[in-house]
Amino acid sequence: MSSSVILPDDIREYHDPPEQVQEKIEQLMELIRNSKHMVIFTGAGVSTSAGIQDFRGYLTLAKQGIKSTLSDFTKIRPTIEHVAIYKLFEAGYLKHLISQNTDGFHLRSGIPITSISELHGNINIEKCPKCERSYWRKHDVRDYEIEVKGTHERIRHTTSRQCVYCHCNLRDTVVNCFDRTEGPHLFPLETAQDHLKLCDLYIILGSSLTVYPANYFSKYINCQQKPVVIVNLQKTSADDIASIRIFTEIKDVLIRLCEGFQLNINSGITDLETDLNFKEMIIMPYAIRKLDCIKEKTEYLKKKSETELMMFLTERRIAYEPPADAKIRKDHLVATVIRHCRKTVYWV
């Protein structure tokens, strides 16, 4: 099943009067207080303040005959919108996040890999098709080298790296136009659907709901007689079923929600890409818990027993072959732990 897009007839922006916006935000806060499984869905509008073009911007340029250029997501930082969403998660209000964005900002801002369904993939993640391990890198993993006739650029899914465990060629996880929703792309969709079954409040931020199948999620929630809330400057196909419809900037709504719930969003913007404590994440299939980097210095690791050192490797599912010489086994174990665990976060 490939993603299909229905172009909107009306790409104009609309703005509610300030007093209406405030009234609607207060209504939304009451829904959030009473919710037990709130799910947020984000579209491109959440990332526009970071300088990334949304669908409306693309169409506007196209109508003017201006060719759109791709942003380098890895050179742009998450925004206050991403921080606010993370704060709602951290405080326990948000139970799961569904996103069509491939920029990776939600993960970079702190949302755990187990609490997000990135329907169209993540430019920082490449995956092994054999063992299904995923690797989160501090750069765009996609390969742009292959060109198609004319001016269109084709992105090859196979990257230039191999899985360190089974040595298969890794593949990026980004869903391009006309890609089939299968393999690495299917699991996020299934996870999203599982959370939608539990959802009692569905909030849509920054999406005109033009891409299938995500544009049908709101209809499912409505059929379950649960509230749907939409915050978007453009009209959407689900406006008629929204319990609360807010035409205003997403940032304004999220900031006021955090202020209303007394959540501090002024402590700085978290960005994993600028975190010097680690260089990558390795994500196992169906991961449920996080194992942080081993921070002990080498001299402290040498004081640990071989059993303790093996535990570091075993719980991260790292295969270990001991050296033939038993005398150097301890030093070899320490070196292996440092090589695999010093700068790498694992999700298992």
Strands 134-136, 125-127: pairing kind: antiparallel
Give the closest residue to 88 by CA, choosing from 121, 136, 40. 40
The set of residues, in sequence order, having a beta carbon less than 8 Å from that of 198 and lying 6+ positions away, is 37, 95
Q: How far is CA 85 from CA 24, 201, 226, 263, in A?
A: 18, 15, 21, 11
Stated length of the chain: 348
Write down the catalytic residue from 82, 96, 106, 120: 120
**Residue 341 annotated in ligand binding:** no
Sign of CA dihedral 325, 328, 334, 335: negative
At residue 28, φ and ψ (nearest 5 deg) are -65, -40
Residues 82 and 158: their CA atoms lie apart, in Å, by 29
Residues 115 and 133: their CA atoms lie apart, in Å, by 17
Residues 38 and 196: their CA atoms lie apart, in Å, by 9
**Single-letter code of the amino acid located at 200:** D
**Helical ranges in 154-274 per DSSP H:** 186-198, 217-223, 250-260
**Residue 177 annotated in ligand binding:** no
**Residue 128 annotated in ligand binding:** yes
For residue 221, the SS3 value is helix
- Verify whether residue 120 is a known catalytic residue: yes
* CB of 250 closer than 8 Å to CB of 264: no
At residue 212, φ and ψ (nearest 5 deg) are -85, 145
Residues 129 and 328: their CA atoms lie apart, in Å, by 35
**Single-letter code of the amino acid located at 339:** R
Q: What token pair was written down for 298? A: 């080498």
For residue 73, the SS3 value is helix
The DSSP call for residue 272 is: G
**Residue 258 annotated in ligand binding:** no
Q: Could you give the residue numbers annotated as active site?
A: 120
Q: Which residues are annotated as a binding site for Zn(2+)?
A: 128, 131, 163, 166
